[in-house]
């Protein structure tokens, strides 16, 4: 059974794109077919996957706004996964989408046509709760929230949770929180441990046991257009994202034993 996850947090710089790229590559390394949807006009996930955002003839913008066939825009990457790429054109989509009826449904409709080709679809969201993010939350089964364990992180989280609740009551009643991911994790910092304990208390099993450490290789890899697994597979960052991919898949088996047997 395939799954669509939105990687979201309206805060910038928390590791959404890093998680999208490296989780995609790690799932691909375990022989899963993966599509990464770049829904941020900055196109960082596109570039970080080795696809030049400035040379795109067709991008996710065309798919959302001009109804170009989704498969025409998809590019295969060296990381072993596919990308539905984005660039600055997507900035205009935010306004142009408002002209459509069912404007929240555009991405869901676009992904329906390719969904069966993939085990996982991961959507990289922009750092805001705008119409693009609403499209992502409408198109996905679950949400993965990367966060840094710092004081203000929790404050931002409540705005995100209330948006998720609104979407549940509006376009996607089955939307759920797939997982909370601690990124740039530094256990030597006492505030990190406090926030971590609060997250554990609040989210219980929804909090991934895998933490992504602060690791310079993860920051370097995008400038080479590679996931960290292809850049330095021995690095702590690469190992952590492989562990996350494994944890994610174990959870699914545990959550749906019957499907796991027949599938």
Q: How many whole angstroms separate alpha carbon 16 and alpha carbon 42? A: 13
Q: How far is the CB of 91 from Mg ion (least distance, A)?
A: 14
The string over 190-202, giving b where at least 16 C-beta atoms fall within 10 Å of a residue's C-beta and e elsewhere, is: eebeebbeebeee
Cβ neighbours, 10 Å, residue 255: 9
Query: Does residue 148 belong to the site contacting ligand ADP (CB under 6 A)?
Result: no
Pick from 11, 16, 53, 182 the residue near Mg ion by CB under 5 A.
Answer: 16
Q: How far is the CB of 63 from Mg ion (least distance, A)?
A: 19
Q: How far is the CB of 32 from ligand ADP (least distance, A)?
A: 21
Q: How many whole angstroms separate alpha carbon 53 and alpha carbon 164? A: 30
Pick from 4, 6, 14, 27 the residue near ligand ADP by CB under 6 A.
Answer: 14
Q: Are 177 and 164 in contact (CB under 8 A)?
A: yes
Q: How many whole angstroms separate alpha carbon 123 and alpha carbon 45? A: 10
Binding to ligand ADP in span 58-117, by CB under 6 A = none
Torsion angle of alpha carbons 255, 257, 262, 263, nearest 10°?
30
Q: How far is the CB of 17 from Mg ion (least distance, A)?
A: 3
Query: Does residue 184 belong to the site contacting ligand ADP (CB under 6 A)?
Result: yes
Pairing relationship of beta strands 75-76 and 34-38 according to DSSP bridges = unpaired
Query: Does residue 227 belong to the site contacting ligand ADP (CB under 6 A)?
Result: no
Pick from 9, 10, 17, 215 the residue near Mg ion by CB under 5 A.
Answer: 17
Pick from 33, 68, 127, 249 the residue near ligand ADP by CB under 6 A.
Answer: 127
What SS3 class is residue 219? helix
Query: Does residue 13 belong to the site contacting ligand ADP (CB under 6 A)?
Result: yes
CA distance readout (Å), 143 to 15, 35, 135, 136, 241: 14, 16, 13, 9, 17
Binding to Mg ion in span 19-78, by CB under 5 A = 44
Segment interacting with ligand ADP (CB under 6 A) among 31-39, 128-136, 218-226, 251-259: 218-226
Q: Are 144 and 58 in contact (CB under 8 A)?
A: no
Query: Does residue 15 belong to the site contacting ligand ADP (CB under 6 A)?
Result: yes
The item of Mg ion, ligand ADP, none sharing an interface with residue 13, based on CB under 5 to 8 Å by kind, is ligand ADP
Q: Are 136 and 122 in contact (CB under 8 A)?
A: no
Query: Does residue 212 belong to the site contacting ligand ADP (CB under 6 A)?
Result: yes
Query: Does residue 153 belong to the site contacting ligand ADP (CB under 6 A)?
Result: no
**Contact residues for ligand ADP (CB under 6 A)?**
12-18, 44, 127, 183-184, 212, 214-215, 218-219, 222, 237
């Amino acid at each position: 059974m395939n799954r669509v996850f939105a990687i979201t947090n309206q805060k910038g710089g928390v590791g959404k794109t890093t998680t999208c790229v490296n989780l995609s590559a790690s799932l691909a390394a375990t022989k899963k077919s993966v599509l990464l949807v770049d829904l941020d006009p900055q196109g960082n996930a596109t570039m970080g996957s080795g696809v030049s955002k400035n040379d795109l003839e067709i991008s996710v913008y065309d798919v959302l706004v001009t109804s170009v066939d989704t498969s025409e825009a998809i590019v295969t990457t060296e990381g072993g996964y596919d990308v539905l790429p984005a660039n600055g054109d997507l900035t205009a989509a935010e306004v142009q989408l408002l002209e459509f009826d069912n404007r929240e449904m555009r991405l869901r409709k676009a992904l329906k046509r390719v969904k069966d080709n993939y085990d996982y679809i991961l959507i990289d969201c922009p750092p805001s709760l705008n119409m693009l993010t609403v499209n992502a939350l409408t198109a996905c089964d679950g949400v993965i929230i990367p966060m840094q364990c710092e004081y203000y992180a929790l404050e931002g989280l409540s705005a995100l949770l209330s948006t998720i609740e609104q979407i549940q009551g509006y376009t996607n009643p089955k939307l759920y929180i797939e997982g909370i991911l601690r990124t740039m994790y530094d256990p030597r910092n006492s505030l990190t441990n406090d926030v971590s304990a609060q997250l554990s208390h609040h989210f219980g099993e929804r909090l991934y046991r895998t933490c992504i450490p602060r690791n310079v290789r993860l920051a370097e890899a995008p400038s080479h257009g590679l996931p960290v697994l292809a850049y330095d597979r021995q690095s702590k960052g690469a190992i952590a994202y492989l562990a996350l991919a494994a944890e994610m898949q174990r959870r699914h088996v545990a959550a749906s034993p019957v499907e796991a047997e027949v599938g």
